[in-house]
Amino acid sequence: MATTLAPLDAAIWTRIQSGQSVDLARMLDGFNEAGEPRVQVAVETVFTDGSHPFDVLRPTGMWSDERSQSGEVEALRLTDDDGEWLLLAIATQSDGVFHLAAAGPRTASRWQRVERWIGRTRDISKCFINHKDLAGIGDELAAYGRVEVVKVAARVARDGSSINRGFPVRDGFERPSHTDEIHEIEQLGASIRTLTLHVVDSVDVHLRRIAGATFNGGSFRVFRDVVLRRLEDAAAVRRQLVSDRARLPGSERVESLTVSLGASILEDADDTGDLLAVVGAMPDFSMAVFHRNPYLHFAVTDEVDGSNFDVMVTRADAVDIFPGYRASAASLARVSQRIGEAFGALTIANARLEEPTSIFELR
């Protein structure tokens, strides 16, 4: 049967089938140099407990699927009503961290489906990257050319309102650099959700806080070396952060994970009620509220794997998650990142180690 794969997918599949290594940068950059139509690539960086994503991902609505691997690239050849396409899983140097990728923009219905499949696969964790990781990608891209912000989408933490700014090319007008724009957004008390960058004479990228990126054109090699590597690093750190966190009997101190919001937005019971609504809407999780005032304290239970957490809000700018005696990495990632995503968190990290308080500070 004649293939209906697009040219890039067909070339990748041929190489995998013949056991040849797949160097996406070489192939994509070769396509561009040959004057082929511009190819976009949507990527989401995920982590697992070590299993391969394709062992646990369950694509639905596809006529057929076929799996094949060569080196660190594994492809799922899928068929839907519009024809055939490839979903790639690219293993990284970091244990349990993979890039899932497909040709096409993020808005394509195929990629939207992929995001839904990932979202409902418990054993695949998305990664909500810290604010500074996003800024760090821009900083590193600056080594390849001037970084210009094309579009930015952000959310104001205090009232949940959105900021969407676009910077068209105009004579006599220079688009802002990522550092200027990030600073301006921070001044508004907002956290960035997506950032579209044009690196002059180098690469066009779209970056998302849910560790994803889209290659929009230019050098895939730069995209790989900077964007994908930084996303890999962020996912590896996050994977380590949420792994092996279950409490152990006899442990001296119960350590929490802190979702730092960057602004004092959980001031009163109405504000913390929003947090309860966010967690309460999570499928497969139940909760029980123990205290509302002078602080919020509730238990969250993963009804599927038994993971459980104590969640506390004792300051208006942070949410603390204390793992219980059963706490899977996937479950902790879901709870912490959902809260982080909903409230535009700056970071998700271990609670700060603080100097002991002097009782004279308690006056």
Partner 1 sequence: MDIVSIYQWLFTETKELPSTVAHFERYPRIPVSDEVTLTPDFTVLFHDGRGIAGEIANTARHEGSIESLCSQLQKYSRLTELPNAGGGMSPVDPIDVLWLTPMETATAAVRRVFERFDDPTHDYKPLRRPVVVQFSSNPDNYVLQFWPDKSVTGALAPTDVFSYADFDEDMKVPPDKFKHVKVKYAFMNDPVKPLYLATRLWTSIFPSQFGTSEEFVATTQEIAEVVKAQYGHVRTADVEAAMGILRAAGLATDAKPRWRVRRRKLRHLGEVHEAIAGLVDRGTSEPRRRKGSSQGELALFDLDSESGLIDPSAVAD
| Helical residues (DSSP H) of 20-120, grouped into ranges | 24-33, 53-56, 109-119
For position 307 contacting partner 1 by CB under 8 A, the verdict is yes
CA dist 265 to 38, 104, 129, 156, Å?
Answer: 43, 38, 20, 10
What is the C-alpha end-to-end distance of the chain, expressed in Å? 80
Q: Which of 96, 98, 78 is nearest to 86 (CA)?
A: 78
| Shortest CB 290 distance to partner 1, Å | 5
Query: What distance in Å separates the CA atoms of residue 112 and residue 107, rounded to the nearest whole number?
Result: 7
Q: Is 2 in the site for partner 1 (CB under 8 A)?
A: no
Residue 122 binds partner 1 (CB under 8 A): no
Beta carbons within 8 Å of 179's beta carbon, 6+ residues apart: 135, 138, 139
Q: Under the criterion CB under 8 A, does residue 120 sit at the interface with partner 1?
A: no
Least distance in Å: CB of 335 to partner 1?
13
Residue 303 interacts with partner 1 (CB under 8 A): yes or no: yes
238: left (phi over 0), alpha (psi -120 to 50) or beta: alpha
Residue 63: CB minimum distance to partner 1, A:
34
What's the min distance (Å) between Cβ of 58 and partner 1?
A: 19
353 binds partner 1 (CB under 8 A): no
Q: Which of 324, 339, 340, 341 binds partner 1 (CB under 8 A)?
A: 324
Piece of 11-19, 36-44, 165-173, 278-286 that binds partner 1 (CB under 8 A): 278-286
- Give least dist CB 242 to partner 1, A: 17
Find the binder of partner 1 among 51, 107, 162, 314 (CB under 8 A): 314
For partner 1, the closer CB: 35 or 294: 294
Which residue, 117 or 298, is less far from partner 1 as judged by CB? Answer: 298
b/e sequence 260-274, b meaning 16+ C-beta within 10 Å = bbbbebbeeeebbee
Q: What does DSSP assign to residue 223?
A: I
Tell the smallest beta-carbon distance from residue 51 to partner 1 (Å): 18
Beta bridge partners of 347: 260
Helix pair 229-242, 131-141: axis angle to 10 deg: 160
Out of 308, 329, 343, 348, the residue judged to bind partner 1 by CB under 8 A: 308
Q: How many residues bind partner 1 (CB under 8 A)?
A: 54
Q: Which of 10, 326, 347, 349 binds partner 1 (CB under 8 A)?
A: 326
Rounded-to-integer distance, Cα 302 and Cα 308, Å: 6
The first and second tokens of residue 329, run together, are 């990495």
Query: Within 257-276, which residues bind partner 1 (CB under 8 A)?
Result: 268, 272-273, 276
Q: Which of 128, 223, 322, 343 forms a contact with partner 1 (CB under 8 A)?
A: 322
Does position 277 interact with partner 1 (CB under 8 A)? The reply is: yes
**Cβ of residue 160: shortest distance to partner 1, in angstroms?**
16
Using alpha carbons only, give the angle 276, 282, 283 rounded to the nearest 5 degrees. Answer: 145
**In whole angstroms, what separates CA 189 from the centre of its chain?**
21
Q: Is 284 a residue that touches partner 1 (CB under 8 A)?
A: yes
* Residue 305 in the binding site for partner 1 (CB under 8 A): yes
Determine the Cα–Cα distance for residues 29 and 238; give it in Å rounded to an integer. Answer: 31
Beta strands in 237-279 (DSSP E): 257-260
Binding site for partner 1 (CB under 8 A): 247, 249, 253-256, 268, 272-273, 276-277, 280, 284-308, 310, 312, 314-315, 320, 322, 324-326, 355-360, 362-363
